[in-house]
Amino acid sequence: MKILLPILTIFILTSCAGWRLEQTEKVGTFPSLLNSGTTQKLKVALNVLSYDHFYNGELKQSSLTETKKQEQIDSILQVYRDSDLFIFDKKNPDLFIDLEIKSEGSGSLNRVILTYATFFLIPSSSETKFSVKAVFKRANGEVIGEITKIDTVEKWQQLFLIFAMPFKYPYVALKDTLVDLNRAVIMEAFRDDYFREAID
């Protein structure tokens, strides 16, 4: 019983948290000017061609369950709905958007073992870099342009991060970053007139 209390205390006080490094400027919400000059919504066929996960340079099976991965893809689809620029129409689209998503994790297993061996007194960290590549095509298949957005989430494991975890939970940070990169893709495509070119 005397040993159990310190172990429980350490367990409660140890946790992890994640932070976006903001290599791509955060969008957050779409500005009202995004659809202020648009008279009709584009019919779009949005295709997620791939969602690959690498760890330390090697292609791996994602640590995400299929349910979590689908949840992230659904959140990306919602971003396009929230822009109020599009109607999904795979049969007769004005615009094709092909997405390729890459998650590249890096970290040291030895460092993680050391963190656990020292009951989180010695911290460890890892990084996940997301890249979202979007290729925009006219209805006839002609490429209008291509946009790639990249950002990184840094995750730390150490003592007392339990106080940060409710606000910086790693999975939420990863999901929010991926979603916001797609907002940034839409914003750049809008500024570069890709959507007007699709119907001109």
Query: What average pLDDT does the structure give for the chain?
Result: 83
Report the candidate in 114, 116, 123, 100 with the shortest Cα–Cα distance to residue 50: 100
For residue 57, CA distances in Å to 52, 102, 125, 181 come to 12, 12, 17, 22
Predicted TM-score of the model (pTM): 0.82
Per-residue confidence (pLDDT) for residue 55, from 0 to 100: 87
Q: Which residues contact 138 (CB under 8 A, 6 or more apart)?
A: 94, 95, 96, 144, 197, 198
Is the confidence at residue 167, as pLDDT, over 50?
A: no
Q: Which residue has the higher pLDDT, 34 or 144?
A: 144
Report the candidate in 183, 178, 150, 182 with the shortest Cα–Cα distance to residue 69: 178
Q: Which residue has the higher pLDDT, 30 or 112?
A: 30
**Which residue type, as a one-letter code, is found at position 142?**
E
Report the candidate in 186, 191, 192, 194 with the shortest Cα–Cα distance to residue 29: 186
Model pLDDT for residues 68-97, shown as the tens digit of each residue = 888 889 999 999 999 999 999 999 999 999
pLDDT (average), residues 15-25 = 84
pLDDT (average), residues 139-148 = 96
Per-residue confidence (pLDDT) for residue 35, from 0 to 100: 65
Per-residue confidence (pLDDT) for residue 27, from 0 to 100: 93
Per-residue confidence (pLDDT) for residue 10, from 0 to 100: 45
Residues of the chain with pLDDT > 90: what percent?
A: 49
pLDDT (average), residues 132-147 = 97
CA 65, chain centre distance (Å): 15
Q: Which residues contact 87 (CB under 8 A, 6 or more apart)?
A: 41, 42, 43, 44
DSSP 53-97: EEETTEEE--SS-HHHHHHHHHHHHHHHHHTTSEEE-SSS-SEEE
Beta-strand relationship, 42-55 and 86-88: parallel
- Give the range among 24-38, 40-54, 111-125 with minimum mean pLDDT: 111-125
DSSP H stretches of helix in the chain: 4-13, 33-36, 66-82, 109-117, 170-191, 194-199
Rounded Cα distance between 200 and 198, Å, is 6
Is the confidence at residue 133, as pLDDT, over 90?
A: yes
- Identify the residue whose tokens are 């140890």: 14
Rounded Cα distance between 124 and 142, Å, is 47
Rounded Cα distance between 81 and 196, Å, is 18
Per-residue confidence (pLDDT) for residue 180, from 0 to 100: 96
Q: How confident is the model at residue 13 (pLDDT cuts 50, 70, 90)?
A: very low
Hey, what's the torsion of the CAs at 128, 167, 27, 57, to 10 degrees?
0
Is the confidence at residue 152, as pLDDT, over 80?
A: yes
Per-residue confidence (pLDDT) for residue 38, from 0 to 100: 55
Q: Which residues contact 12 (CB under 8 A, 6 or more apart)?
A: 162
